[in-house]
């Protein structure tokens, strides 16, 4: 008998998160999302690669989450998206927003980052690099928005909020800042600033937020942001 639980997406989710989010996989919205993503990847070129849709969860287990950095959409250029918010695959030129993130780290902490824009090194320290929408069609920014991903990633935030304590949420820009309503600030820490995109950063809304040093003051074991 065929399972009513979506196999395609659920099978890609790492075990610790699959257990934590098992109720979501059975909900009607997720089954519709599963069908949509299956069809899109079968008929069109989509990013990130299918095997990396849940890379943010693969490199940062539910138990290990200490920091959440929320993005909006995967990069839609060829070879860029690797399943982590703001991150790109090894060897890919660093996008403008990530360049500004690295500049703020250097200004804030006085350290140089690695030349690679692949942020798996942060994820492995407990930084969940979560996009609100986890897939996108090539060349079409926002093409997979409002298809169910936001409901799912809101559930991820709510699960972290309800079952963990002392997580630092970094909400950059207007879209991310709206997610603060999902977070109990009596249990967790929320830091809000402008977005690191050039438009926002060059207007003075990003540089000088000192989020990276502030995170490390709040955590028992600091993150190596290099």
The residue annotated as part of the active site, out of 64, 73, 108, 224, is 73
Give dist(CA 88, CA 100) in Å, integer. Answer: 14
CA 78 to chain centre: 19
At residue 192, what are phi and psi to the nearest 5 degrees? -120, 140
What one-character DSSP code corresponds to residue 175?
H
* Contact criterion met (CB below 8 Å) for 136 and 144: yes
For residue 180, give the DSSP letter: G
User: How many angstroms separate the CA atoms of 205 and 51, rounded?
Assistant: 35
Torsion over CA of 140, 145, 146 and 147, rounded to 10 degrees?
A: 90
As a whole number of angstroms, the distance between CA 198 and CA 210 comes to 17
Catalytic annotation present for 64: no
- In whole angstroms, give the CA distance from residue 196 to residue 70: 12
**Cis peptide leading into 157, omega within 30 of 0?**
no
Q: Give catalytic residue positions.
A: 73
């Amino acid at each position: 008998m065929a399972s009513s639980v979506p196999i395609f997406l659920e099978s890609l989710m790492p075990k610790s998160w699959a257990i934590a989010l098992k109720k979501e996989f059975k909900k009607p919205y997720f089954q519709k999302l599963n069908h949509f993503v299956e069809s899109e990847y079968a008929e069109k070129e989509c990013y990130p690669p299918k095997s990396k849709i849940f890379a943010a969860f693969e490199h940062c287990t539910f138990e290990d989450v200490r920091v959440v950095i929320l993005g909006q959409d995967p990069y839609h250029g060829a070879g860029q998206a690797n399943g982590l918010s703001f991150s790109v695959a090894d060897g890919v030129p660093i996008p403008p927003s990530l360049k500004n993130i690295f500049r703020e780290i250097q200004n804030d902490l006085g350290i140089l980052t690695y030349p690679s824009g692949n942020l798996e090194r942060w994820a492995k320290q407990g930084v969940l690099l979560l996009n609100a929408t986890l897939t996108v069609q090539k060349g079409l920014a926002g093409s997979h928005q409002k298809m169910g991903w936001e409901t799912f990633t809101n559930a991820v935030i709510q699960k972290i909020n309800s079952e963990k304590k002392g997580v630092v949420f970094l909400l950059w820009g207007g879209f991310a800042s709206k997610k603060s309503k999902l977070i109990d600030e009596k249990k967790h820490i929320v830091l809000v600033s402008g977005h690191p995109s050039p438009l926002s950063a060059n207007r003075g809304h990003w540089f000088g937020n000192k989020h990276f040093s502030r995170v490390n003051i709040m955590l028992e074991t600091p993150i190596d942001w290099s």
